[in-house]
């Protein structure tokens, strides 16, 4: 469950989230993944690569991330924190994979976690059909975040993938807004690159 203090709104209400959403609609980009790490899960039969500067969440770290949907019960979660010299701005990039309980068919699987809305946007990744949401977000005390959700169905098992960019600042410095927006756009590019490596292992 998302933090009770959050005020949710649709991405189209802010230019920053619009930019992130537009970036996420571009074709999945390729990059140098030579030093990327690989996570494999035998139970659900998939693997995904991720940048070496991302850290894998411990069970305790996942338990505490109640601000991000489905991280607490995720199969795999990674994150990276950024700081910016001369500012109090801090940002985070988060990517997680979780199993959707009781969703063994397309109708049950391809829905948005927070409100049950049908996911109608489609993207193919290594021949697998992913359905995804627009970027949506929220605000709290001194914090902003932008989230996007993907779902994929394989052998009657529904997996969800969440990505999020978080920002924290006192927002007294106008430069923080520009830095945060630029970092958010880059974060969604990286999320696309990670997603492009996801594959089921038969």
pLDDT of residue 131: 97
Annotate 136-157 with b (16+ C-beta within 10 A) or e (fewer): bbbebeebbbbbbbbbbbeeeb
pLDDT of residue 61: 95
Q: Domains of the chain by range and CATH?
A: 7-200 (2.60.120.1690)
Burial of 44 (0-12, 13-18, 19+ CB in 10 A): middle
pLDDT for 146-180, tens place per residue?
A: 999 999 999 999 999 999 999 999 998 888 999 99
> Hey, what are 98's tokens?
């979780």
pLDDT of residue 31: 63
How far apart (Å, rounded) are the C-alpha atoms in residues 116 and 46? 25
Single out the residue of 53, 93, 61 nearest to residue 192, CA to CA.
93
How far apart (Å, rounded) are the C-alpha atoms in residues 140 and 180? 15
In the chain, where does DSSP find H-type helix? 15-24, 59-64, 106-109, 174-195
Region class of 80: left (phi > 0), else alpha (psi between -120 and 50), else beta: beta
Print pLDDT tens along the chain (202 aa).
333 333 333 333 333 434 444 444 444 445 678 899 999 999 999 999 999 999 999 999 999 999 899 999 999 999 999 999 989 999 999 999 999 999 999 999 999 988 889 999 999 999 899 999 999 888 888 899 999 999 999 999 999 999 999 999 999 888 899 999 999 999 999 999 999 999 999 7
> Hey, what are 9's tokens?
């709104």
Question: Which residue has 């998302």 as its token pair?
Answer: 2
């Amino acid at each position: 469950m998302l933090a009770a203090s959050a005020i949710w709104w649709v991405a189209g209400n802010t230019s920053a989230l619009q930019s992130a959403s537009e970036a996420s609609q571009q074709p999945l980009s390729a990059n140098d993944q030579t030093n990327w790490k690989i996570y494999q899960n035998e139970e659900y039969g998939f693997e995904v690569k991720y940048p070496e500067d991302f850290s894998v969440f411990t069970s305790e770290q996942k338990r505490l991330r109640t601000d991000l949907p489905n991280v607490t019960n995720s199969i795999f979660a990674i994150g990276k924190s950024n700081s910016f010299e001369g500012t109090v701005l801090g940002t985070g990039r988060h990517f997680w994979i979780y199993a959707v309980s009781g969703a063994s068919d397309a109708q049950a699987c391809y829905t948005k976690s927070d409100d049950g809305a049908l996911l109608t946007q489609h993207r193919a990744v290594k021949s697998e059909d992913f359905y995804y949401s627009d970027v949506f977000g929220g605000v709290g005390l001194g914090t902003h975040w932008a989230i996007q959700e993907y779902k994929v169905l394989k052998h009657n098992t529904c997996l969800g993938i969440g990505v999020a960019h978080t920002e924290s600042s006192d927002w007294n410095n106008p430069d923080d807004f520009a830095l945060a927006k630029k970092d958010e756009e880059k974060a969604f590019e990286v999320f696309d690159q990670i997603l492009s490596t996801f594959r089921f292992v038969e």
